[in-house]
Every structure is written in C-alpha cells, then in structure tokens.
C-alpha cells in the first residue's frame, strides 16, 4: 500500500497542475469572448441603416447620409462607427474631397486618441487606432498616430503580461 501512495500523490499533483492550466485558459477565453461580444455588438449597432437615412434605388446610403452617420459617430465618440461609414463614403468622393475628409477625421482621431490614452484606455482604442492609421489617406495629420501606435501596442503587451502574472498568482 505504501508503494502506491507516492504514485497517487504524483498523479494528484499532475492533475492539479492540469486543472490550474485549464482554469487559466478558461479565464482567458472568457475575457476574449467578452471582448468579441462587445465588438460584435458595436459592429451590429453600426451596420444598421437608420430608417430615415436617404438611400439610392439599390438601397445604398447617399453621400449626405454617410456624412451624417460619420457626424453622429463623431458626436458619440465612436471611432469604429466613423471608420465603418468612411469606407463606403470614400468610394463616392473625388480624391480631393477624400483627402479633405481624411484630414478632418485625422484631426478628430488625434484628439480622441489623445484623450483616451490619457485616461488609460489604450486597450480599448488600439484596434480603432490601428484601423485609422491604415485606412485614412497618408497625411501629415495622421503621422503622430502612426508614430504612437507601436507604443500603444507595447503598452498593451505589458498590460497583458501583468494580467497573466496576476492570474497566475491568483490561482496558485
């Protein structure tokens, strides 16, 4: 009987380690699912066309309606909404009008991201910041955002590492 005891202790310890790993994975996945659910909610919210929005015969929104939706997204401090409505609008604009729009949006994004970063929201705005940098016309107004993006990514990496350490400490 004493010969089997070390084997059971070793098996129990291995099982405990495996269960802790599973618990950590479930916690990470749960946080990720919450993030994805919020993102899907935002996408659904912005994919709905307001019933009174002017549309073409094919159901596409007009330039005027898209500009209105961008204005509403700006008023709501919704960077994803701004970018989601900018994409179809960009197809309707001349290159000069698109450059002007992107110049205005770059200025707004700069103020928005600066405020968000100062309030510790790097994790929340990183995706929008990356989209703004990649989707807007390359202009001098967008350069500060492009330069700040690697720092935001590093900050998020540090936060994620600290969260992992905290999770490990909490469950040990």
Is there a domain that residue 24 lies in? no
SS3 content of the chain, % helix, strand, coil (to 5): 80, 0, 15
pLDDT tens for 108-132 read 999 999 898 888 887 778 888 989 9
- Which tokens sit at 33? 């699912």
| Mean pLDDT for all residues in the chain | 79
The stretch 29-53 carries a mean pLDDT of: 58
pLDDT bin (cut points 50, 70, 90) of residue 51 is very low
Residue 61 lies in a domain: yes
**For 55-100, what is each residue's pLDDT tens digit?**
444 457 899 999 999 999 999 999 999 999 999 999 999 999 999 9
Q: What is the pLDDT of residue 29?
A: 66
Task: Examine residue 9 and state whether it is found in any structural domain, yes or no.
Answer: no
Report the distance separating Cα 21 and Cα 19, nearest Å.
5
pTM: 0.59
pLDDT the model gives residue 47:
47
Beta-carbon neighbour count of residue 52 at 10 Å?
A: 7
- Residue 3's pLDDT is 53
Q: How many CB atoms lie within 10 A of CB 15?
A: 10
Share of the chain above pLDDT 70, in %: 74
Task: Determine, yes or no, domain membership for 151.
Answer: yes
| 127's tokens | 């995706």
Split into its structural domains, the chain has a count of: 1
The answer to the question of residue 143 being in a domain is: yes
Question: Once rounded to an integer, what is the mean pLDDT over residues 126-148?
Answer: 89
59: left (phi over 0), alpha (psi -120 to 50) or beta: left
53: in domain: yes
Position 125 in a domain: yes
- Reported as a pLDDT band with limits 50, 70 and 90, residue 40 is low
pLDDT of residue 52: 47
In the prediction, which pLDDT does 34 show?
A: 65
Q: With bands split at pLDDT 50, 70 and 90, how would you rate the model's confidence at 156?
A: confident
The gap between the terminal CA atoms of the chain, to the nearest Å, is: 30
* Residues 98-104, mean pLDDT to the nearest whole number: 95
Residue (of 106, 161, 97) closest to 139 by Cα position: 106
Q: Which domain holds residue 77?
A: 49-171
How far is 154 from 122, CA to CA, in rounded Å?
A: 10
């Amino acid at each position: 009987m004493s010969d089997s005891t070390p084997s059971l202790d070793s098996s129990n310890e291995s099982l405990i380690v495996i269960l802790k790993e599973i618990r950590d994975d479930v916690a990470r996945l749960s946080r990720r699912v919450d993030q994805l659910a919020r993102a899907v909610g935002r996408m659904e919210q912005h994919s709905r066309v307001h019933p009174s929005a002017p549309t073409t015969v094919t159901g596409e929104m007009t330039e005027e309606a898209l500009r209105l939706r961008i204005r509403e997204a700006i008023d709501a401090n919704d960077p994803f909404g701004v970018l989601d409505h900018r994409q179809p609008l960009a197809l309707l604009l001349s290159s000069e009008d698109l450059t002007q729009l992107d110049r205005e949006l770059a200025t707004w994004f700069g103020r928005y991201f600066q405020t968000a970063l100062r309030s510790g929201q790097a994790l929340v705005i990183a995706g929008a910041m990356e989209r703004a940098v990649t989707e807007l016309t390359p202009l001098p107004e967008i350069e500060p955002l492009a330069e700040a993006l690697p720092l935001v990514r590093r900050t998020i990496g540090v936060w994620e590492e600290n969260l992992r350490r905290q999770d490990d400490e909490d469950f040990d």
